[in-house]
């Protein structure tokens, strides 16, 4: 079965420091991977995706993610964290096990950036 | 603002009742998805429609049903509600049914069953 795992429930980082939010996946075939962010009382906002090509993907708000096929990982990164980056982050993989194109989400990682 | 509109934002209802959640996708998007977010289950895919036709089903209970209308808006109907149905229900839309296109989410409807 296809799945994604976010091994950390919470990540704490100081403002100005680099941040990494981890994601590993398990799929048969080539994965389509996505990162979304959810702010309190808001919907999910798309950050970036990996479909094919360059393993380093750049997205919104200065975020980037590195696709690593050998480690089946798709970690989200940012060189310098902002307090406003504090939110809930979801990694997701496209579910190709059925006719549709729904996403399978990880459980989410809460990022807390302190000033 | 994602361009996906969901109404109502909040809904409080009693057990055994029926409710309808409404979603208007982004202009031009043909595909609509419904997801349920709860503390214990996380984000779960319920159902997908594409241009009026059901495309895929996820973990949707038989008490729940959905449809997509000719103007592409969608409704999720929840009946015989139970306490455990309390959750945040999201609608998302995407322009195609292709696997490489991202979906854009509405702000959700928070359903509380009492």
B47 → chain A, closest CA residue: A102
Residue A50 has pLDDT above 70, yes or no: yes
**In percent, how much of chain B has pLDDT > 70?**
97
- For residue B108 the two structure tokens come to 């959700």
Give me the pLDDT at residue A85, please.
96
Choosing among B51, B99, B106, B107, which should be mutated to test the A contact, i.e. which has the most A CBs within 10 A?
B99
Q: Are B35 and B29 in contact (CB under 8 A)?
A: no
Report pLDDT digits (tens) over A60-78. Answer: 999 999 999 999 999 999 9
**In percent, how much of chain A has pLDDT > 90?**
80
Give me the pLDDT at residue B39, please.
87
Gap between the Cα atoms of A25 and A102, Å rounded: 16
Per-residue confidence band for B98, with pLDDT thresholds at 50, 70 and 90: low
Q: Does the beta-carbon distance from B100 to A99 stay under 8 Å?
A: no
Which residues 29-88 of B have a C-beta within 8 angstroms of A? 31, 33, 42-43, 45, 48, 50, 55-58
Gap between the Cα atoms of B67 and B52, Å rounded: 7
- A106 CB neighbours in chain B (<8 A) are 42
For range A27-47, the mean pLDDT: 91
Beta strands A19-21 and B5-7: pairing type? unpaired
H helical segments located in A25-101: none
Report pLDDT digits (tens) over B28-43. Answer: 999 999 999 998 889 9
Cis peptide before B8 (omega within 30 of 0): yes
A79 min Cα distance to partner chain B (Å): 24
Residue A96 has pLDDT above 80, yes or no: no
Choosing among B105, B106, B109, B110, which should be mutated to test the A contact, i.e. which has the most A CBs within 10 A?
B105
CB atoms within 10 A of CB A64: 16
- B100 CB neighbours in chain A (<8 A) are 32, 49, 51
Give me the pLDDT at residue B18, please.
98
């Amino acid at each position: 079965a296809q799945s994604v795992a976010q091994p950390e429930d919470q990540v704490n980082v100081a403002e100005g420091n680099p941040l990494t939010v981890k994601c590993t996946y398990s799929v048969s075939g080539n994965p389509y991977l996505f990162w979304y962010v959810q702010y309190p009382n808001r919907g999910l906002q798309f950050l970036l995706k990996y479909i094919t090509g360059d393993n380093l993907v750049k997205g919104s708000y200065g975020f980037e993610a590195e696709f690593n096929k050998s480690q089946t990982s798709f970690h989200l990164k940012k060189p310098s964290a902002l307090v406003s980056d504090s939110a809930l982050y979801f990694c997701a993989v496209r579910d190709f096990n059925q006719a549709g194109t729904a996403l399978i989400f990880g459980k989410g990682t809460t990022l807390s950036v302190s000033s | 603002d994602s361009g996906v509109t969901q109404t109502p934002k909040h809904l409080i209802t009693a057990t055994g009742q029926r409710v309808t959640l409404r979603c208007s996708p982004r202009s031009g998007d043909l595909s609509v998805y419904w997801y349920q977010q709860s503390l214990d289950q996380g984000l779960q895919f319920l159902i997908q429609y594409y241009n009026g036709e059901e495309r895929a089903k996820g973990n949707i209970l038989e008490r729940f049903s959905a449809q997509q209308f000719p103007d592409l808006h969608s409704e999720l109907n929840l009946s015989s509600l139970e306490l455990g149905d309390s959750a945040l229900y999201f609608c998302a839309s995407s322009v195609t049914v292709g696997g490489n296109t991202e979906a854009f989410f509405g702000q959700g409807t928070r359903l509380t069953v009492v």
